Amino acid sequence: MTRFEQLTPDQQSRLLLELAGKSLRHWGLEGSDIDLVKYRENAVYKISTAHGRRFALRIHRHGYHSEASLRSELEWMSALRESGIPVPEVIPATDGRLLISESTDAVVNPHNIDLFAWIDGSPMGSVEQGLGDNAEQITQLYSELGRLAARLHNQSTRWSMPEGFERHAWDRDGLVGDTPFWGRFWELELLDKQQRRLMERVRDRIAEALSGYDQSPQRYGLIHADFVPENLMTENGNVRLIDFDDAGFGWHMFELATALYFIQEEACYPLAREALIAGYRQERALTAEDLDRMELFLTARGCTYLGWIRSRQETDTAREMAPDLIRRACEQAERFLASEG
């Protein structure tokens, strides 16, 4: 573990601010104002120039993604934007690179950094505070979200990936294999014995259900994989999608399950679910057989969040969210096993 990793989040944040300032030279933005927006997986800063231009600078968590994987993410985002899907514009450095690497005396390991045009609007909601109780607005937003997801899946189905394209997979191995992408969730130390046995049982059942499951372009391809309220910016009824950090190959139903996972306990859930599906079907086919797999993918999604906790237990965010994520995942696992008989 490096000295940086041993620091508190506040100490890390101060050092990353220095790194952000140094990196601005790659875009000719030296001297701009820098304000922290979020520090979780990555550090995201709002950059404001003296001329009123605004950008979002992202410093990636060291070692989480390879440079090839990050460049691939930015290439897909650029292709999505070219196809008319509302995602942030990637801003190349002055030398044309989409991704730069920078370090300081205090942050010795070079960190990958990229820059985007600023997106106006407000997050659709949050895990902690939910979506509110405006039924008409929720129906409108989730209908738009369904259309957005379908258009994204249509683009990824048609798109010819550039040579060297590399992203992780939310497939059977990535979800419940020996080394899932977000870690061996059933071994999370915070689980009690009963919870651990439950996770082992549900892992086996998910693995069985996904064995040989259709991975044709109709059901599987590049997905965003993080359609949570914080990543959906709304303005005047329009929805824009941000944060492609988790984007990879996966089932389209995993995408829709992610969009619904954290709102299942809200009164608006039936309306939001119906609107999401109806919106999706306006742009892309979604069969009754696909929807029959919703509980399967909701359960797989819950398991991944336990793996996320386990691989990030040193962070305040993981520690704070752990009790709720464990409760949700266990309740979802029990519902799924009960529905399977």
Domain ranges of the chain: 4-118, 123-340
CA 306 to centroid of chain Cα atoms: 15
pLDDT at 133: 66
Residue 303 near residue 199 (C-beta atoms within 8 A)? yes
What is the distance between the alpha carbons of residues 13 and 4, in angstroms, rounded to a whole number? 10
pLDDT at 127: 58
What is the distance between the alpha carbons of residues 275 and 81, in angstroms, rounded to a whole number? 24
As assigned by CATH, the class of the 123-340 domain is alpha beta
Strand order in the sheet with 220-223: 169-170, 248-251, 220-223
pLDDT at 255: 98
Distances, alpha carbon 71 to alpha carbons 85, 90, 167, 243, in Å = 19, 11, 10, 14
- Per CATH, the architecture of 4-118 is what? 2-Layer Sandwich (3.30)
Residue 115 near residue 202 (C-beta atoms within 8 A)? no
Positions of the chain with pLDDT lower than 70, given as ranges: 1-2, 125-133, 341
**54-100 pLDDT per residue, tens:** 999 999 998 889 999 999 999 999 999 999 999 999 999 999 999 99
Distances, alpha carbon 299 to alpha carbons 261, 291, 311, 333, in Å = 9, 14, 19, 6
CA 302 to centroid of chain Cα atoms: 14
